[in-house]
Amino acid sequence: MTLTLETRDLTIRFGGHVAVNSVSCSFRPGELTAIVGPNGAGKTTYFNLISGQLSASSGTISFDGRDITNLSAPLRTRAGLGRAFQLTNLFPNLSVEENVRLAVQARSGVHYDLLRPWMARRDLIARADAILDQVALGSRREISATTLSHGDQRKLEVALMMALEPKVFMFDEPTAGMSIDEVPVVLDLIGRLKQDKTKIILLVEHKMDVVRSLADRIIVLHNGQLVADGKPAEVIASPIVQEAYLGVTPRSAA
């Protein structure tokens, strides 16, 4: 069965404010969907609803053939929804390499075994090494995770997500706060993830050049509602986006 992720009439209210308003949308494997819209449109809230950080007021979310609306965030992660978090899952006193190895170990289900040192698990070590190379952190492997530069921390977040081998990759402004020379590595990384046509990739992004270079599809949220959905060229050119959403917000125009 083809992997699908779908929200139906997904809604969340904060007091009287409807931050996400009856959003129905489905996401397909092999497609990177960028979620754009002005500040406060509900993009991050929509992400939080999908990954389980927030509970919907109404509506449903289905994933891989099951209703996950009431599933906790950790169970959604286990089901295959991966989200790059700002290193909250990190062991701060361990090195970059040790953190990635632990994430690989967690994914493999291998537990600490006195009689079989983890170093004997060549397969897991090789997997962690491959991920470190993919995110271009091989040369930083020995340093403490918390002393990484901002850009390298974002790469480590992606590495930890990759280690869990999710079916869905969710990126919330992956290049935010990065220096100009750090951005291409992360874009290249996401571009390479796209080559695996079995994965669903979601991206919340303000920078339209990033969206243009990566997205196969764009959806636009405004005041919590889905107001446009289509191929990047069409959506970007549509009057509703040009006039109301992309042309006037400084962050999206940047």
The residue within the footprint of ligand ATP, chosen from 9, 24, 26, 39 (CB under 6 A), is 39
Of 7, 27, 42, 153, the one binding ligand ATP (CB under 6 A) is: 42
Considering the complex, state which of residue 47 and residue 169 has its C-beta at the smaller distance from ligand ATP. 47
From residue 45 to residue 64, the character string flagging contacts with ligand ATP as x (rule: CB under 6 A) and all else as - is x-------------------
CB of 17 to ligand ATP, least distance (A): 6
Q: Smallest distance, Å, CB 168 to ligand ATP?
A: 18
Least gap, CB of 39 to ligand ATP (angstroms)? 4
Nearer to ligand ATP, 12 or 128 (CB): 12
Mutual orientation of helices 122-134 and 150-163 as an angle, nearest 10°?
140
Instruction: Give the shortest CB-41-to-ligand ATP separation in angstroms.
Output: 4
Question: Binding of ligand ATP at residue 43 (CB under 6 A)?
Answer: yes
Cα(90)–Cα(238) distance, rounded to whole angstroms?
42
Query: How far is the C-alpha of 106 from the C-alpha of 108, rounded, in Å?
Result: 6
Least CB distance to ligand ATP at residue 174 (A): 14
The span from the CA of 187 to the CA of 45, in Å, is 23
Contact between 10 and ligand ATP by CB under 6 A: the answer reads no
Least spacing, CB of residue 227 vs ligand ATP, in Å: 13
Q: Does 86 bind ligand ATP (CB under 6 A)?
A: no
- 19 belongs to the binding site for ligand ATP (CB under 6 A): yes
DSSP β-ladder status, 217-222 and 225-230: antiparallel
The number of beta carbons lying within 10 Å of the beta carbon of residue 244 is 17
Stretch that binds ligand ATP, among 11-19, 24-32, 77-85, 156-164 (CB under 6 A): 11-19
41 near ligand ATP, rule: CB under 6 A:
yes
Among 4, 11, 22, 44, indicate the residue that binds ligand ATP (CB under 6 A): 44
Kindly tell me which residue out of 7, 25, 27, 37 binds ligand ATP, with binding defined by CB under 6 A. 37
The footprint of ligand ATP (CB under 6 A) covers: 14, 17, 19, 37, 39-45
